[in-house]
Structure 1
Amino acid sequence: MPGTRPPGIPKPGRPLIALAVLLVLVVTGMLVSGAVKPRLAVDLAGGTSVTLAASPTTDSGKVTRTAMDEAVSIIRQRVNATGVAEAEVAVRGSDQIVVTVPGRNDRSLVDLIGQTALLRFRPTLATGPPQAQPAGTTAATTEVPADVAAAFDALDCTAPASRQGGDTAAAGDTVVACDRDGTAKYVLGPAVVEGTDLSAAQAGVPAGGAGGWEVDLEFDHAGQQQFADATKAVVNLPAPKNQIAIVLDGLVVSSPRIVDVISGGRAQITGTFTKQEATDLAHVLSYGSLPLAFEKSQVSTISPTLGATQLHAGLVAGAIGLGLVALYCLAYYRRLGVIAAASLVLAAGCSYAAVSLLGAQVNYRLSLAGIAGLIVAVGITADSFVVFFERVRDEVRDGRTTRSAVEYGWRRARRTILVADTVSFLSAAVLYLLSADQVRGFAFALGLATLIDLVVVFLFTRPVVAYAVRGWWLRGRWSGLDAGHDTLGARLHRGDASIDVVGHTRRWFALSGVVLVLAVGGLAVRGLQLGVEFEGGAIIQTHGGSATVGQVEDALAADGVSGASVRQLGDGSIVVEVGKSDADRAAELQDTVAQTAGVSADDVTTDVIGPSWGHDVTRKAVVALAVFAVLIVGYLSIAFAPLMALAAFAALLHDLAITVGVYALAGLTVTPATVVGVLTILGYSLYDTVVVFDKVRENTGHRARGVTYAQAAGRAVDQTLLRSVSTSLIALLPVAGMLIAGVVTVGAQTLEDLALALFVGILAGTYSSIFIAVPLLVRWERRRAGGSVAAAGSGGRESGRVRTVRG
């Protein structure tokens, strides 16, 4: 009966007390741990990030977890030995290691991290000038196999690509190699001593202090004998065969002449080393050879200036998004909107505290993608309020008192909120576990904010509304609960008006079919315009500068770079994109761009991407989509029904196809942020569908005699139409904040790319939740029931009106 109090409703004071205790614990934890602000990732604080993709060596045959853990330990020792504080080395997935060093923008550190330290001592068989020679003209190569001689003649050590290193040859092979400076090339025999037989390495100055720095080596017992035998075998041979080359990662770092048999187990690597070069080499050798070969799939050196700019853009986007949502709630829900705005502020504060505590306790670092995840979560939090408030309004329209309407509305909204947030959390969890780093940062923040949403809605919003309805705050025309009896929402709820979505199924399917044909056609004909991140290459960006695009292009052309893409941002900053053929020269090109633009090296950010990085992102995105499909179909089958789960997933595929098709037709560039946005549509699209399906479940499960499934489902669409539009609009407002911040703030391309993909996807998701998911469900239910579910008159009317039996 209207006006009665439903049983089993807890007293509203208890959740508030629990929330107060939780907040006291959080604040105490922040004060004790000193976590007064979040720790920032390298894209916000500046620094260096290196992603290493592992591949097996010729001996191991596969990438194992044991080998990855060993590699992490060795790389961590190398980085720590350089005196870097707060460096992080971690395994991502099964075959990647990510090294992040906040605050240090240093190319030499990148080189140190990536070295595989495969050290071998090989006898020298022949030497020659570094340039390529006509076949068969180089002296002394006739004593080696013909294929080796040909490779030696063709090798051009003056080319930077020939000096990138990487030793994949077997220890027993005869090989050709360059020295590190490109001044000579060698034919080298099978290895006589392996680096694994090295027991110690230390940088030092030769006796007398002349000749620069050297690296002193000490061998273990087996290495001592092998080195003694090797020196004995070559000591009396003519030059250059009386030399033993010290080869590090396929490059000759020294080729000393053996003047006597060395039997003491000690040797020196000499050359024109600086102190830093000798120290770095000693660190690499001291901590052993990595058990795997690694390719630098992505290297980012981000200037602190650009990091600060991106942080500012993220904060501006968050403030705009939060402000827009709060204003919408105040305008649409009036005094009830004040509670919603307070809930949003509380959620924002809890998110700040959680990120700060996680930084202090588990060294979590907030990235720009993480900020984007928190901004997007503002819409999810506000959507929970909309579901609750609209349910309360429905109860008021049915004649309940406001106090009773709040209690009954909460009981009916609670399940919808739990199911929708579970879907969002599953989406975030799958993305975090199965996607690339940039997606992981977004997914972690989104999942964290989704949990905070549940805490705020259950422990604050609901009890505060319950208290407010007892007094004057939620009474009268400005309360926000009186939705009016002649509004479209009230008439749709009562069944006095209908959009008749289910009755015009063919119309909606035809419209979607045309859009999908255009999308798929655009994808097939034009394809996607992939950014340099997916093709491999390098992105160099200055912060500010005085050069023109033409001046930078001329400087790059003088350096031998062709086909570079150069553009200028609003503040004069220059962005250069070069292909993978020039990516190896990124450090050199960075200096060229900086000098031409008239900025210091600290104001230049460089991102080098290997061709495997984009493939890895794409592969993980597909895997994440497949796993998410299985999980979400299973969960929604339990929460609703199998047919509902399949219809929801079909609508999701519809949204993904349209979003990707829009990018193809419009010729928009696909970046990693675009991938984040497209994958985020997984949760957003299903959120709206869950809200609609929950009402479908309620109506079809308690329909009056003579009311068909199609009619009950159609009326559910009518009753949730404005609610769906409202939740979608609220979801778009934070996205609009990111889009605005991305457009007006120089250097915030990530926010702009992410917001654009989300904007398209949310619009498609709103449409599919109403016009695709429910009509599909009705059609499949009709087939399952053998055609007994009527298709006509499904707009929610039966003899003028459908009566819903309340449970």
Structure 2
Amino acid sequence: MPPVRRSRPSRGLLTTGVVLAALYGGMAATGHYGPQLGLDLRGGTTVTLAAKPNPGQKVTSSELNTAVNILRNRVNGLGVANADVHTEGTNIVISVPGKDKQGVLDKIGETALLSIRQVYASNDPVMTGVTAPGLSATPSASPPPAASSSSSASPSPSPSPSPSGAASPATPKPSASSAGLGVGRTPGIQLAGFVRQAASAASSAATASPSPAPTASPAAPSPSPSPAANPGYYAVPNAETAPTPQEIAAYQALDCTKPENQKGGITDDPAKFLVTCGNVDGGWYKFLLYPTLIEGKEIASASAQLDPQTGTQWTVQLTMKSGAASRWAKFTAANVNKDTAIVLDGLVMSAEYIAEAIPNGKTQISGNFTHKTASELANVLKYGALPLRFEQQSAETVSATLGNSELRAGLLAGMLGLLLVILYSIFYYRGLSLVTVSSLALSAAIQYPLLVLLGQGIGYTLTLAGIAGLIVAVGVTADSFVVFFERLRDEVREGNSLRSAVEKGWLQARRTIVSADLVSLIAAIILYWLAVGDVRGFAFTLGLSTIVDLFIVFAFTKPLVTLLSRTDFFGNGHRFSGLDPAHLGITRLPGTAGGAQRPVPARRV
């Protein structure tokens, strides 16, 4: 056996103190002092959507992240607070606290709708290629009575609802610089973008001076956008050719500075004009849009690429399917220098104007893009209708009362299990139970801030299954004490003094402890990787507790036993220490006064 090196318990105890200070300091810095509870503990609705790729298609993390962003915008658009959307493997889990009053279960799994539309009117002064710029020039001081009584854009029942406000629209001051596209809750519009044929040699001068657009009178209830009754380039055959009076009234009444009108998620009927909002460099503007020109499902591909002409400017290269390409060619030929908008879930995501006719469907969108904003816009175009098909795998609704009951039951079960471990430790190990109780208390003191910080850092939520993992981990921690204490007592029985037995027993015990904890950790990792739903919560807390146990055994338990072995109470084998000779089956402790060790005579039966 290698020589036993002198132990320095103060180092481990100091490390433990530093870790505790860091954890609780971090918790104080976040301003949160409780873990995030899962819906099975606080009540609410959880829906698990399973990705169903097409044959030969692989589910990628990029596609899942894009789907999460789209679904998160959809959930936020329902006005639900504190909702959580995250991935679990190839599944997406949507958790909504509270009762399902908003019909969340019926809406969150719907496919988000992407469309490209022509801009009929907008109060954004940068939009110079609209059909009816005068429609926003003299907004009414107060909306018509029909508009003010509706929560949607349409003042009366209409098949084309959209958000509306009760006050006259305010015109935010535009910024001179263009805003990058955001895929979060308030996406921004890429300004000053223009659409042209991909790899075209057209000069930038052709796009610098857009031709004057016709001006429609705001008093006219239904100005005609085109000489033809149906120009033939809409995505649906029976599209409206002019906005209805209700749609015009809803547009004039719309106030895009109100948060309730900035969430999207409204009905996007491709056959009707759409009244909606968009964020331009921090300022919200309203839009009245023609029926859908191109639907998201008609886009074949989209990617961020450098402009082949300049080699320095980032663009979005867009390819449309054959049917859409022919309609797009007809539209761009008839509407050069007119504005278009990309709409996702009823909210304008990007706005551009047509620089030239595009006969083949291969389109280049240019603007003040960076690689990031170009990639984000390309992802919106590719995945606006969700990159994957999802099926509802499970749905569960838990009342807040039931959640509180389960939380109390889980905590009660944990306390009972902990109490049994402590009672057994006191009964069998006596004074050494001080180490057991202190280590278990330290384990709880470390795991609690860890759960709080993980909730704020990675969105971890503690579920009933997670509490079960913490309870099981109490047994894992207790196993480490048993292994160490039994090796310590074996070394004393073999004639080693208590101080020497602590060091020699630790060398033998730590290999067993590490091996056992690694087995538990590997099992937890495999279970977390393969499982879904609540089982992953169990695996996560089990693995976390195992890692904490390893730290405590090395940094606290072993140093504490070393310090206790230097005291008279334990060193002289007091009968309540757990190391008294009678308890160990010997006559005297080695290294203490009273002579050599003699075995206790066997009892006659």
Deviation track 1:514-551 (CA, whole Å, cap 9, x = no partner) reads xxxxxxxxxxxxxxxxxxxxxxxxxxxxxxxxxxxxxx
Following superposition, the deviation at residue 256 of structure 1 comes to 8.6
Q: Does 1:484 align with 2:481?
A: no
What's the CA shift for 1:7?
2.7
Q: Does 1:468 align with 2:468?
A: no
Note the C-alpha offset of 1:6.
4.5
Deviation at 1:327, TM superposition (A): 0.6
TM-score, normalised on structure 1? 0.42
Residues 470 and 541, structure 2, Cα contact 8 Å, conserved in 1: yes
CA spacing shift, 1:212–1:305, aligned 2, 3 Å: farther
* CA apart distance, 1:445: 0.4
Map 1:392-411 onto structure 2 (within 5 A): 392-411=488-507
- Deviation of the 1:320 alpha carbon: 0.5
Hey, what does 1:90 align to over in structure 2?
86
Partner of 2:233: 226
- In structure 2, the partner of 1:211 is 157
Q: Which residue of 2 is the match for residue 444 of structure 1?
A: 540
- Among 39, 50, 53, the alignment partner of 1:53 is 50
Establish whether residue 359 from structure 1 lines up as the match of residue 459 from structure 2: no
Q: Structure 2 counterpart of 1:47, which letter?
A: G
CA change 1:62–1:337 in 2 (3 A) is: closer
The residue type paired with residue 103 of structure 2 is S
For the residues of structure 2 that align with 1:52 and 1:441, how far apart are their CA atoms? 18
**Larger radius of gyration, structure 1 or 2?**
2
Q: Which amino acid aligns with 1:366?
A: L
Match of 1:365, SS? Answer: coil
Per-residue deviation, 1:356: 1.5
Aligned residue type for 1:476: H
290, 304, 312: which one pairs with 1:265?
Answer: 290
Structure 2: how far apart are the matches of 1:108 and 1:348?
A: 40
AA matched with 2:576: W
Deviation digits for residues 364-406 of structure 1 (CA, Å, limit 9, x no counterpart): 2111111110110000001100000000011111111222111
Q: Which residue of 1 aligns with 2:76?
A: 80
Deviation, 1:57, is: 5.7
Instruction: Give me the whole-angstrom Cα distance separating, in 2, the residues matched to 1:207 and 1:476.
Output: 83
Matched, 1:302 2:402: no
1:87 Cα offset (Å): 2.4
Matches within 5 A, 1:111-190: 111-117=106-112
1:624-635 correspondence to structure 2 within 5 Å: none
After superposition, give the CA deviation of every residue in 1:197-218 in whole Å (9 maximum; x if it has no partner). 457999977999333674269x
- CA 1:105 to 1:306, structure 2 compared with 1: closer, same or farther past 3 Å? farther
Cα 1:197/1:257, change in 2 over 3 Å: closer
Residue identity in the other structure for 2:82: E
Preserved CA contact (<8 Å) 1:206 1:213: no
Matched to 2:584, the amino acid is G
In 2, Cα distance between equivalents of 1:448 and 1:400: 36
**SS of the residue aligned with 1:226?**
coil
Structure 1 equivalent of residue 22 of structure 2: 25
Q: Following the alignment from structure 2 to structure 1, what is the Cα–Cα distance between the partners of residues 443 and 522?
A: 20
Report the alpha carbon displacement of residue 257 of structure 1 after superposing the two structures with TM.
Answer: 12
Superposed CA offset, 1:136-170 (max 9, x none): xxxxxxxxxxxxxxxxxxxxxxxxxxxxxxxxxxx
Structure 2 contact 152–162 (Cα < 8 Å) conserved: no
Q: Is the 8 A contact 1:44 1:304 kept in 2?
A: yes
Q: Alignment partner of 1:480: what SS?
A: coil
Q: 1:37 to 1:386 in 2, by over 3 A?
A: same
- Would the aligned equivalents of 1:205 and 1:212 in 2 still touch at CA under 8 Å? no
List aligned pairs for 1:485-524, cutoff 5 A.
485=585
Structure 1 residue matching 2:108: 3-state secondary structure = helix
Q: CA deviation at 1:473?
A: 2.8
Give the corresponding residue for 2:36.
39
Further displaced range: 478-487 or 107-116: 478-487
CA contact (8 A) 1:428 1:446 kept: yes
Residue 375 (1) aligns with residue 471 (2): yes
Distance, in Å, in 2 between the alignment partners of 1:35 and 1:206 is 37
Instruction: Classify 1:255/1:67 alpha carbon distance in 2 versus 1 (closer, same or farther; 3 Å).
Output: closer
- More helix, by proportion: 1
Alignment partner for residue 97 of structure 2, among 102, 110, 113? 102
Contact conserved, 2:239 with 2:271, CA < 8 A, in 1? no
> d(CA) in 2 for partners of 1:406 and 1:346?
21
Q: Secondary structure at the match of 2:397?
A: strand
C-alpha distance 71-480 of structure 1, shift in aligned 2 (>3 A): same
Equivalent positions of 1:648-667 (< 5 A) are: none
Alignment partner, residue 122 of structure 1: none
- Secondary structure, counterpart of 1:230 in structure 2: coil
> Higher relative contact order at CA 8 Å, sep ≥6: structure 1 or structure 2?
2
How far the C-alpha of 1:61 sits from its partner, in A, is 5.1
Aligned 8 A contact 1:335 1:473 in 2: no
**For 2:51 and 2:507, how far apart are their aligned partners in 1?**
52
1:284 CA displacement: 3.8
Question: Is the 1:335–1:478 Cα contact (8 Å) retained in structure 2?
Answer: yes
User: Could you tell me which amino acid in structure 2 is paired with residue 36 of structure 1?
Assistant: Y
Conserved? CA contact 1:205–1:214, under 8 Å:
no
| Deviations 1:476-516, CA, capped at 9 Å, x for gaps | 222112433289xxxxxx9x99xxxxxxxxxxxxxxxxxxx
For the residues of structure 2 that align with 1:296 and 1:424, how far apart are their CA atoms? 32
1:484 maps to amino acid: L
Aligned partners of 1:114 and 1:296 also within 8 Å: yes
Change (3 A) 1:23 1:308: same
User: In 2, distance between residues paired with 1:89 and 1:364?
Assistant: 12
Question: Match of 1:412?
Answer: 508
Q: Which runs of 5+ in 2 are unaligned?
A: 123-146, 164-193, 197-229, 242-266, 274-288, 293-342, 350-383, 588-598
Query: Whole-Å Cα distance in 2 between the matches of residues 283 and 460 of structure 1?
Result: 55
- Change in Cα spacing, 1:200 to 1:460, as seen in structure 2 (3 Å) is farther
Gap change, CA 1:40 and 1:197, over 3 Å in 2: same
Aligned mate of 2:438, from 342, 350, 353 = 342
Distance 1:210 1:27, change over 3 A: closer
Structure 1 portions without partners, runs of 5+: 119-194, 235-251, 259-263, 268-281, 488-493, 498-807
Alignment CA distance shift 1:332-1:86 (3 Å): same
Q: CA deviation at 1:447?
A: 0.8
Instruction: Give the secondary structure class of the aligned counterpart of 2:568.
Output: coil
SS, match of residue 103 in structure 2: helix
**Shift in Å, 1:422:** 1.1
| Offset of residue 255 of structure 1 | 11
Question: Which of 62, 69, 89 is the matching residue for 1:66?
Answer: 62
Match of 2:375 in 1: none
SS where residue 38 of structure 1 aligns?
coil
Identity fraction in percent: 44
CA RMSD for the aligned pairs? 4.1
* Cα distance in 2 between the residues matched to 1:44 and 1:357: 19
Amino acid at match of 1:333: Y
Deviations 1:688-744 (A, max 9, x none): xxxxxxxxxxxxxxxxxxxxxxxxxxxxxxxxxxxxxxxxxxxxxxxxxxxxxxxxx
Checking the alignment, whether the CA contact within 8 Å between 2:159 and 2:269 is kept in structure 1 is no
Shift of 1:432: 1.4
TM score, norm. by length of structure 2: 0.55
